[in-house]
Structure 1
């Protein structure tokens, strides 16, 4: 596809000039003072959510130039090619069709195949959830990367919808402490293991699967075929393991985009078939928004453009995600893989070295926990770090007072980051914990906040399967937007491969002690481990 890379466009040069003239010194407080309608102008409605973009360092001029950049980079053409099933993953010659997994029957590519697997999987789900006949009380998902992060995040987020008699467990780390801490609380007769590995060869997953199978047999388990199920395309390997029930998926489903496929089996087991279909429907609604909304009102596109503005012009190196909902506590970890594995690239589609930065570091913790951990740095540290607040208007519990406090804290943190506190304001306040021996002006400087620190607030009415599906799909399309502008392949992950290859070389050396040909550091560490 003949599309220019962002830095080779006229819009990029115009953005550089605009940043130097207006963007570098942009002040949010002054912007709000000049424009009382700023909140309304920069509020965006999308399926399942409202986004307040008004606390970002953008104005009408910068947004116009960013939209010009999207147009010049032919973002809409690239988006449409992805949705149509073109092989946009050029390094692996694959289509990228996670959107097809949530398209209604008859409305997406490969619809018969997709819905055939979906129907079979959900029928199986309901048979397991019928505990009078299945006897299953515990589900253990064994996977890693996209086979773990997405399902685990979603199950935790939808805890209010989980079958009350089912307990979900997730094992990913090859470190034996991970699986042993889960198994010690289980009984074989009540446990179903889900082995999630596309090839049924993933080192960490198969190591844990073998450990689970050995535990199952050692503790009196019988009928492996009943208590183990696989989400894989390697049916023969699963059968050799002793698994009869498998659900497959396709090479156009990338790992970090796979929770909509059979990899979502643990989600479906947790919340049931109807709620899983609602999750898919929410994602499909966001797909429609991404595909049809004008770019100026297209939430994933606008967020992706702001990401480029911050990364490549303001030079911000990270973004903090602060979900003010305990159910979303694993969302930052999920987004780390989604964004950093997708866009952590240093060459363009033609293999040319990039002269600009790509993915920021994505990190965070739930509010209000984060306020007592790293928010000190957000408010007074030397780096400006954009923050993403997620607020949910209606909780699924009845502790109204606590929810009010939670929401007030989220609003207050975004307000404080923007407004800051001047030294003269701090001088006028009493600081009861300040040292009495310090001069008031010194104390005041310690209590000065620079402000003008940007944030986005995403507001959901409720956290439901439908709204969660929309939220996840929004993030997927946002990541694609920035990756498309950067001219990179957001759907491969060659950076994961080198470490795997070197590990395969080191494993036999762990047994033999052979250090020949190793660098001095690795050789020295290996000897210390084996001594």
Structure 2
């Protein structure tokens, strides 16, 4: 029987709190023993990746206690409930089915009178066929000319995930001759965003994708109007240049203003929608359906690992529980995601939404206040740029911030340059190796300005090359890590009430239904 309990009521968590030992990273990474630890504290991931946690503040007794916590919190059982179609999203009374978009982990899930796995694969098959017709010239603009660019119009999860994935694979696709169409994105309701993208776009040869589950998202519909106006100025019929990704019940479905519409449903949260039609349409058009399916296969392989009950064979669960230890026992308030890959430059931005919108909660899944910290503040930038930005605080600031590095042995482009005895890729990876040890071990110096205390924990996910399969596995790892942490904290990680209040007040401002401070700020901004 599944029981949903607050973290601080679990006996295993209380035992974890009572453990007297705290791990010194300086000590465990010193000398030959440190070298052995780096090899031992490493587990395989999907997509040819590895999760190395040697520089995290855990040892065998702590890992044993975390394993007991995983068992008492019923993490594996709760994941099984989720992928078998239980109503996990208690706030909105919905199923949580994003795993079904990339594979069937358990029993068939029936909802709305249909098999949801078949529904999702059916929509992707329709997208595959549409993309093939665009690529082979069967679908063209009114002049019979091919579309060369695809532009997604959406916000939040309709933008951050698909944009991060496109950027992550763009160079790989160029190197492997699979870049079919350039992709662009419009998200911000700030008119400078749409204007800037459109000014650099040949709209006559661009296919626009409007993404809105409800078909009523204010920012997205505003940007759609911006795009339609630009098309009309060029003497083009917008209906020949637009498709929609929406729900079957939205006003966009069956609308003659679009070439076609592809469907999602309420069981796919925006921040988890990159493997649904939300990501499938733009990424299949950009790279071809085969590449998108490789991405799905990597995510599915990651999900299969996440379904394992043994924490030591389940890297997402292991990563999640170490994070809970750092957050709730050691009191660390933030996490930095630091990819040493320029291709992942927007991946931290995607994870900011995925993590903080999911677990940035102060009440449990029953609406009751919790008495312990929940989701951390998450931020990041690619290395080595970040080293010349905020690493000063990470190394010598008063706050200890756990770090999650991501790195690859090979670059995507297949080109490099050798300067002063090493290549650019070797220099990049030398930096990440050095940073891990520098953060953990520090440096003694009589000049306190040059003193590095160390004891800054980190992990690294390492792979051979960032390709579609590895990227899918990486996405799955973080999505499932977030889920497991939400289970530990007894949260509903799948609604986002925190974004609603501002929307309500913004509508009041636009309707000039304001008073007091809201009226004053409206006047200040000339609304």
Taking structure 2 as the reference length, the TM-score comes to: 0.91
Higher helix share goes to which structure? 1
Query: What runs of 5+ residues in structure 1 fail to find an aligned partner?
Result: 425-443
The number of residues matched between the two structures is 500
Corresponding residue number in structure 2 for 1:150: 161
1:430 aligned residue: none
Larger Rg: 1
In 1, distance between residues paired with 2:340 and 2:459? Answer: 13
1:232 aligns with 2:246: yes
Aligned to 1:435: none
Residue of structure 1 in register with 2:235 after alignment: 220
Among 120, 124, 129, the alignment partner of 2:126 is 120
Secondary structure in 1 aligned to 2:494? coil
Quickly say closer, same or farther: Cα 1:29–1:529, change in 2 above 3 A. closer
Deviation at 1:187, TM superposition (A): 3.0
Superposed counterparts of 1:86-105, under 5 Å: 86-103=86-103
Q: Is the 8 A contact 2:179 2:286 kept in 1?
A: no
Counterparts in 2 of 1:38 and 1:226: CA distance versus 1, 3 Å: same
The answer as to 2:435 corresponding to 1:413 is: yes
Q: Note the 1:118-517 alignment, pairs <5 A.
A: 118-131=124-137, 134=140, 135-159=146-170, 160-161=172-173, 163-164=178-179, 166-222=181-237, 224-233=238-247, 234=249, 236-240=251-255, 242-264=257-279, 265-292=281-308, 294-397=310-413, 398-399=415-416, 401-424=423-446, 444-509=447-512, 515=514
Distance 1:241 1:503 in 2: 31
Deviation, structure 1 residue 168: 1.1
> How far apart, CA to CA, are the structure 2 residues paired with 1:284 and 1:422?
46
Return the TM-score normalized by structure 1: 0.91
Paired residue secondary structure (1:322): strand
Match of 2:55 in 1: 55
Matches within 5 A, 1:24-39: 26-33=23-30, 35-36=33-34, 37-39=36-38
- Taking structure 1 as reference, are residues 62 and 143 closer, same or farther at Cα in structure 2, changes over 3 Å only? same
Query: Contact 1:42 / 1:52 at 8 angstroms: preserved in 2?
Result: yes
2:107 is equivalent to residue 111 of structure 1: no
Quote the Cα distance in structure 1 between the aligned partners of 2:311 and 2:180: 45
Larger CA deviation: 449-458 vs 124-133: 124-133
* Structure 1 residue 229, shift from structure 2 partner: 0.3
Q: Name the counterpart of 1:526.
A: 522
Query: Residues 267 and 229 of structure 1: is their aligned pair in 2 closer, same or farther, counting only changes over 3 Å?
Result: same
Q: Distance in 1 between matches of 2:87 and 2:411?
A: 42
For the 8 Å contact 1:321–1:332, the answer to whether it is kept is yes
1:375 Cα offset (Å): 0.6
SS of residue paired to 1:314: coil
TM-superposed deviation, 1:239: 4.6
Q: CA separation of 1:293/1:73 partners in 2, compared to 1, >3 Å: closer, same or farther?
A: closer
SS of structure 2 residue aligned to 1:232: strand
Contact 1:340 1:361 in 2 (8 A): yes
1:180-215: CA deviation from partner (whole Å, max 9, x where unpaired): 001112233201110000111101000000111111
Residues 36-45 or 267-276, more deviating: 36-45
Contact 2:149 2:183 in 1 (8 A): yes
Q: Contact 1:100 / 1:108 at 8 angstroms: preserved in 2?
A: no
Contact 2:213–2:250 (CA under 8 A) maintained in structure 1:
no
- Report if the CA contact (8 A) 1:290-1:300 is conserved: yes
- Summarize deviations over 1:354-393 as a string: whole Å, max 9, x none: 1011110110100010000011111111110111111011
